C-alpha cells in the first residue's frame, strides 16, 4: 500500500472557517453529544434493569441505543476537538478506520430499524402468534444477522477505499472521512468505484426505506380493525419508529443515492444522520412511550 500513496494524513476543511461560528458549533455539538450519551445510556440501563428487556421491541431498542453511541462516537468527538484547532488533520490510518466504522455501525443501525419494523408488524398484524414469531432465539438471530449485514456492507467498501492511490492533494471538504470526499482527492479514475459505492450504500438505503415504508402502510391498514385504545397504543410506538426512520433515512438517501460528487449541502445533511437523529432517538422513544417512561421512573426512583 505504501507504494500507492505518499499521503500520510488528510486535512479536514470542517464546517466553517469563521472563528465565531466554530465556537458556536463547539458549544452546540458538545451539548448534543453529551445529551446523546446521557439519553442513550439512560435508555440502555433502564431497559437492561427492568422486565422490558424480555420484550422484543425493547430488546431491539437497547441494541439501537448501543449502536447510536458507537456510530456517533466514530465521528463526533473528532469534530468537537477540531473546532478548537486551526489545522484539522487526521492520519491516513484513522481516516480509513473512520470510513469503516461509519458504514459498519450505520448499516447495523439500518438493519436494526428494519428488524424493529418487522417486530411491530408481527405484534399488530399477527398478535396471536407474536410470542411464537418473536421468541428470544429468533430475536438473537435477527440481531446477529444485523451485525453480519453490517460487515457484509462495510468490508467491500473499505477494501475499495483502502486500495485507492493518494498522491497529491490531501484536503477533504468535509468534517469527517467519507467515501465521496475521498474519491475526489484520489489520483486515479474513480468512476467505477463511485458507481459501486452508490449501489452499495445508496441503493441499499433506498430499498430498505421502501421496505420500511410499505411495512408501515400494511400496519396502518391493519389498525383499522383494532379498538380505539389499541390503535392509540400501536400508533404511539409506530409513530416513534417512523419519526426516527425519516430523520435517519432522508438525509442518508440524499447523501449516497446520487452521482459520486460533493455538494455544499452534504455537511448539513450529514449532521442529521451522524448527530441530530441519534440525539433525538432517546427523546422520541421515551416521550411518546408510557411503558418506557414508567420503567425509567421506577428504576431511577429505586436507585
pLDDT surpassing 70 at residue 288: no
Q: Measured between alpha carbons, how far is 255 from 250 in angstroms, rounded to an integer?
A: 9
Q: Measured between alpha carbons, how far is 200 from 154 in angstroms, rounded to an integer?
A: 9
pLDDT of residue 26: 92
pLDDT of residue 209: 85
pLDDT single digits (tens) 108-156: 998 998 898 888 888 888 888 888 889 999 999 999 999 999 999 999 8
| CA nearest neighbour of 71 among 208, 246, 270, 274 | 274
Higher confidence at residue 259 or residue 115? Answer: 115
Please, which pLDDT band fits residue 282 given cuts at 50, 70 and 90? confident
Please, which pLDDT band fits residue 29 given cuts at 50, 70 and 90? very high
pLDDT of residue 2: 42
Q: Measured between alpha carbons, how far is 34 from 54 in angstroms, rounded to an integer?
A: 28
- Of these ranges, 34-48, 213-227, 269-283, the one predicted with the greatest mean pLDDT is 34-48
Q: Measured between alpha carbons, how far is 74 from 51 in angstroms, rounded to an integer?
A: 31
Q: For 188-195, which contacts have Cβ atoms below 8 Å and span 24 or more sequence positions?
A: 188/164, 190/164, 190/260, 191/260, 193/160, 193/164, 193/260, 194/259, 194/260, 195/260
Give the phi and the psi of residue 122 in degrees, each rounded to 5. -65, -40
Q: Cα dist. 204→48, 103, 111, 165 in Å? A: 31, 12, 10, 27
pLDDT single digits (tens) 164-182: 888 877 888 888 888 888 8
Q: Measured between alpha carbons, how far is 71 from 98 in angstroms, rounded to an integer?
A: 10
CB 161 within 8 Å of CB 102: no
Q: What is the largest CA-CA distance in the chain?
A: 68
pLDDT surpassing 70 at residue 236: no
In the chain the domains, ranked by start, together with CATH numbers, are 9-302 (1.20.1070.10)
Higher confidence at residue 200 or residue 288? Answer: 200
pTM (2 d.p.):
0.87
pLDDT of residue 63: 92
pLDDT of residue 230: 65
pLDDT of residue 147: 95
pLDDT of residue 237: 66
CB 210 within 8 Å of CB 134: no
| CA nearest neighbour of 173 among 163, 162, 184 | 184
In the chain, the percentage of residues whose pLDDT exceeds 70 is 89
- At residue 172, the 3 state secondary structure works out as strand
Task: Find the mean pLDDT for residues 39-51.
Answer: 85
Query: Can you give the length of the chain in residues?
Result: 303
Q: Which three cell numbers stand for residue 268?
A: 448539513
- Give the residue carrying C-alpha cell 489520483: 187
CA angle centred on 187, ends 186 and 191, rounded to 5°: 70
Q: Cα dist. 107→148, 250, 258 in Å? A: 10, 15, 18
- At residue 258, the 3 state secondary structure works out as coil
Helix-strand-coil percent breakdown of the chain, rounded to 5? 80, 5, 20
Task: Find the mean pLDDT for residues 213-241.
Answer: 74
pLDDT surpassing 50 at residue 259: yes
Amino acid at each position: 500500500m505504501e507504494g500507492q500513496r505518499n499521503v500520510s494524513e488528510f486535512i479536514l476543511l470542517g464546517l466553517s472557517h469563521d472563528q465565531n461560528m466554530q465556537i458556536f458549533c463547539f458549544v452546540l455539538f458538545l451539548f448534543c453529544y453529551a445529551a446523546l450519551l446521557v439519553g442513550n445510556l439512560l435508555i440502555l440501563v433502564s431497559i437492561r434493569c427492568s422486565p422490558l428487556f424480555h420484550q422484543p421491541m425493547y430488546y431491539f431498542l437497547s441494541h439501537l441505543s448501543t449502536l447510536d453511541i458507537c456510530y456517533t462516537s466514530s465521528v463526533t468527538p473528532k469534530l468537537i476537538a477540531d473546532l478548537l484547532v486551526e489545522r484539522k488533520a487526521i492520519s491516513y490510518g484513522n481516516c480509513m478506520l473512520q470510513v469503516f466504522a461509519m458504514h459498519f455501525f450505520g448499516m447495523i443501525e439500518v438493519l436494526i430499524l428494519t428488524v424493529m419494523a418487522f417486530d411491530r408488524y408481527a405484534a399488530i398484524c399477527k398478535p396471536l402468534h407474536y410470542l411464537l414469531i418473536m421468541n428470544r432465539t429468533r430475536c438473537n438471530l435477527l440481531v446477529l444477522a444485523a451485525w453480519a449485514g453490517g460487515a457484509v456492507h462495510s468490508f467491500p467498501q473499505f477494501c475499495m477505499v483502502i486500495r485507492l492511490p493518494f498522491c497529491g492533494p490531501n484536503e477533504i471538504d468535509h468534517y469527517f472521512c467519507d467515501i465521496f470526499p475521498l474519491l475526489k482527492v484520489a489520483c486515479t479514475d474513480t468512476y467505477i468505484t463511485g458507481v459501486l459505492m452508490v449501489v452499495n450504500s445508496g441503493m441499499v438505503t433506498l430499498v430498505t426505506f421502501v421496505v420500511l415504508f410499505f411495512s408501515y402502510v400494511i400496519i396502518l391498514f391493519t389498525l383499522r380493525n383494532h379498538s380505539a385504545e389499541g390503535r392509540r397504543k400501536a400508533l404511539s410506538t409506530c409513530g416513534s419508529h417512523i419519526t426516527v426512520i425519516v430523520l435517519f433515512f432522508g438525509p442518508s438517501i440524499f447523501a449516497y443515492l446520487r452521482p459520486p460528487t460533493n455538494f455544499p449541502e452534504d455537511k448539513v445533511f450529514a449532521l442529521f444522520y451522524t448527530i441530530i437523529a441519534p440525539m433525538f432517538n432517546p427523546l422520541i422513544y421515551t416521550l411518546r412511550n408510557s411503558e418506557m417512561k414508567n420503567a425509567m421512573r421506577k428504576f431511577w426512583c429505586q436507585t
